[in-house]
Amino acid sequence: MDKEKAHIVVLTNGAEKMHTFYSNVETYNPKGGSRSKTKWGPQDVVQDSKYLEREKHQFREYFRSLAEMVEHTDELALFGPADTAEKFKAELVKNHLLLASKLKTVAKADSMTDNQIKALVRDFYKVNT
């Protein structure tokens, strides 16, 4: 899982199904402030706080939707290259205690292909197909 998408791998009787869920979290690269045409004139200031607040709300919606998708799972393991998995764990602990109790691990993992993701999940749960 990362900021832009989460791959959900469901293991049932040794077979896996993979679903990809895309987030609506925007990436932003604010440009620096602009200068006035007059010498020593005022500068426009980039308001990072509004971008960060918008991102926080988008993450909250992304995590709420993910929690709804996996709420009926028996066990949950989170893997990802960034801190998004840790943020999702914090959200589960805060707002979804039943799902948080099913969480087995939160681990760092590099970006992987779909087959590598399935293999990682199979290896974690020791499933042979």
| CATH number for the domain harbouring residue 62 | 3.30.420.60
pLDDT of residue 126: 83
- Tally the domains of the chain: 1
Answer yes or no: is 31 within a domain: no
Answer yes or no: is 9 within a domain: yes
105 Cβ neighbours under 8 A, 6+ residues apart: 77, 78, 124
Would you give the DSSP letter of residue 43?
Answer: B
Give the side-chain half-sphere CA count within 13 A for 126. Answer: 0
Categorize the per-residue pLDDT at 33 as very low, low, confident or very high, splitting at 50, 70 and 90.
Answer: low
Q: What's the mean pLDDT when you consider all of the chain?
A: 85
- pLDDT tens for residues 89-113? 999 999 999 999 999 999 998 888 9
Q: How far is CA 4 from CA 27, 61, 69, 72, in A?
A: 9, 13, 16, 23
